[in-house]
Structure 1
Amino acid sequence: MSFKTILTVTEPGMSDGDLHLAAGLCEEVGAHLAVLVVVLAAPPPVGEFAAIVSEDWLKERQADEKALKKTTAAVSAFLAGRALSADTVSAYPEASWADETIGRRARYADITIVGPEVLAGETLKSKVIEGALFSSGKPLLLVPQGSRPTLKPKCVMVAWDSRLESSRALRESLDMLICADEVHLVLVDPVEGETHHGAEPGADAAAYLARHGVKVTVDRLPSANRSVADVLRQHAIDVAADLLVMGAYGHSRLRERIFGGVTKSMVEDPSLPVLMAR
């Protein structure tokens, strides 16, 4: 799909680095930039000590609201200084439902950008990623520190495992794939069979892409006792990929957290810009 509205999320205390990055991507494709400024509120005190701490809690909320207002004004001023279509809104949700708040806002964008500063954190990072993937129906783009993100990549690597999540990621990135000079459809330890990759692993997906005019190559790779994530990272280096496209959370979030998985590994250590969809 084409990207006409791009969302990014920030909070008080962050620099404007992620904003610069998102604004640059909007300028690259002529998109509108939507900025959500978030402060995660502490839950109200409960139990026998509630009366004692309630005054401090109220003071904390007042300080949060003041910081939120100040940051929102600073973001609006930053955007006003650029020749860019943009808007800024703010939210003050409790941490327990912040992902829902972010996800609802992401429904009105084509993609959510998660820049290096958000990726370097923990709480806001998880809320933005889970909100975008589970509550918006839209993709997100992880941009690690030191990378050169673009929404017009020349070389794209697609991690394909024939699951619904991979199919969704393929469709969400189709416009970029059509415009790319080369697309590598990568299968790690593919399994033949009707319920897996078919008689010729990767052939059906490659044919689908080729009908859209995508210049696609199928790369079937052995894991050789390495993790799938490590195989993908190395192959991205080998083919000089600008972008990795992949489905997210083929397993449940709980299973990923306990046992690990490709999504978890890529979220924790993306070596290049990664477009994820679910």
Structure 2
Amino acid sequence: MGFKSVLCVTDADHSDQDVRTAATLCVEVGAHLSVLITPPQMLVMSPLPIGDGVPEWPAGRGQAIAKLNNRFRQIDRFTQDVARQEKRSQDVQKLLRAMCLSYDVDTDYCDATRVGEIVRQRALCADLTIVGPALLNDSIVGPLVINGSLFDTGKPVLIVPDGAEPTLWPRRVLVGWDSRLEASRAVREALGLLCAAQEVRVALVDPKPNYNANSAEPGADIAAYLTRHGARVSVDRLPSAGKPVAAVLAQHAIDTSAEMIVMGAYGSRRLRERLFGGVTRWIFEKPTLPLFLAR
């Protein structure tokens, strides 16, 4: 198993659920866990006006006093938030010490314009980023973390929805395959867990024969690749019957008792605000299985 360094991002106001989930997975595979704690609420502090921006005194004293009072409130909030982050850091360290694993915990006070870049820097030096239920359900921090860790690093992300029972040693795995670069990278990043699984099902939705590949049979090429690495593979060619690809894959994963879905993440830099295009948009619609993504 190649996951030796795992990143987990949590908010200062989140519960311990995400950290506990990531820690349990790290214990399972003997990995080091790095926890990054972001501020409870990330707001941009407006700059204090200078020069021509300061109202003339005394005519504009009311406006100036209001601006100063607003800045004092921001400073007070900053002080409180830093204290909450520090308290959260101490609590997380106490939790991890009791779980007997290798770990480090860090905090970074940043606003929403920088969190993606900060997460990107951390994820570049990790094998895997784990996004737990609390972060997944956080409409502010969650998308920023996933953008930074997935789209800007080339590293995989494991999405763990609420109610899922994640493992990095899944017995049955469903691979969503469409012969695209992103799907190939997802398979390569997940190769260790795929080869250790008892059953790997490669699922293709409305596939078309590719006579330029190794075989005219859709999915035969990726199945052969995985078999050479020692994986136990079967290929399922599924009709969409007018349903979204995501819905077909999700239902097939349930029907085959899969414990994880591995697939490529698709998205455009121009549409980052909308997160993922194609079949990976459904991850924010409360999936029922852990989702291993790479791009």
- Which of 71, 86, 90 aligns to 1:69? It is 86
| Displacement after TM superposition at 1:147 (Å) | 1.1
- Which of 108, 115, 131 aligns to 1:98? It is 115
1:152-193 Cα offsets, whole Å, 9 max, x none, are 000000001111100000000001111111101111111234
Secondary structure, in 3 states, of the residue corresponding to 2:202?
strand
* Whole-Å separation in 1 of the counterparts to 2:196 and 2:277: 34
| Displacement after TM superposition at 1:205 (Å) | 0.9
Larger C-alpha radius of gyration, 1 or 2? 2
* Letter of the structure 1 residue corresponding to residue 173 of structure 2: V
* Counterpart position of 2:58: none
* Counterpart position of 2:76: 59
State the TM-score, normalizing by the size of structure 1: 0.92
Is 1:14 paired with 2:4? Answer: no
Which moved further from structure 2: 213-222 or 61-70? 61-70
* Whole-Å separation in 2 of the counterparts to 1:197 and 1:71: 53
Is 1:249 paired with 2:266? Answer: yes
* Whole-Å separation in 1 of the counterparts to 2:272 and 2:25: 34
* Counterpart position of 1:29: 29
* Letter of the structure 2 residue corresponding to residue 154 of structure 1: R
* Counterpart position of 1:181: 198
- Which of 109, 112, 116 aligns to 2:129? It is 112
Secondary structure, in 3 states, of the residue corresponding to 2:274?
helix
* Counterpart position of 1:41: 42
- Which of 213, 216, 225 aligns to 2:230? It is 213
* Whole-Å separation in 2 of the counterparts to 1:272 and 1:80: 29
Which moved further from structure 2: 52-61 or 78-87? 52-61
Contact 1:45 1:53 in 2 (8 A): no
* Whole-Å separation in 2 of the counterparts to 1:192 and 1:255: 33
1:66-106 Cα offsets, whole Å, 9 max, x none, are 21122112212222222111111111122012111011111
| Displacement after TM superposition at 1:44 (Å) | 2.0
* Whole-Å separation in 2 of the counterparts to 1:97 and 1:113: 20
State the TM-score, normalizing by the size of structure 2: 0.87
Is 1:78 paired with 2:122? Answer: no
Which moved further from structure 2: 112-121 or 190-199? 190-199
Which moved further from structure 2: 62-71 or 260-269? 260-269
1:27-59 Cα offsets, whole Å, 9 max, x none, are 111111111111153112257775552222222
Contact 1:162 1:197 in 2 (8 A): no
- Which of 240, 249, 252 aligns to 1:223? It is 240
Which moved further from structure 2: 73-82 or 212-221? 73-82
* Whole-Å separation in 2 of the counterparts to 1:223 and 1:33: 39
Quickly say closer, same or farther: Cα 1:270–1:195, change in 2 above 3 A: farther
* Counterpart position of 1:269: 286
Secondary structure, in 3 states, of the residue corresponding to 2:130?
strand
* Counterpart position of 2:216: 199
* Counterpart position of 2:60: none
Quickly say closer, same or farther: Cα 1:13–1:82, change in 2 above 3 A: same
Give the unaligned 5+ runs of structure 1: none
* Counterpart position of 1:141: 158
Alpha-carbon RMSD across the aligned residues, in angstroms, is 2.2
Which moved further from structure 2: 246-255 or 191-200? 191-200
Quickly say closer, same or farther: Cα 1:15–1:121, change in 2 above 3 A: same
Secondary structure, in 3 states, of the residue corresponding to 1:96?
coil
| Displacement after TM superposition at 1:197 (Å) | 9.6
- Which of 148, 166, 170 aligns to 1:131? It is 148
- Among all aligned residue pairs of Structure 1 and Structure 2, give the percentage whose two residues are the same amino acid: 47
Contact 1:190 1:197 in 2 (8 A): no
Is 1:153 paired with 2:170? Answer: yes
Give the unaligned 5+ runs of structure 2: 54-62
* Letter of the structure 2 residue corresponding to residue 15 of structure 1: S
Contact 1:256 1:264 in 2 (8 A): no
- Which of 185, 193, 207 aligns to 1:168? It is 185
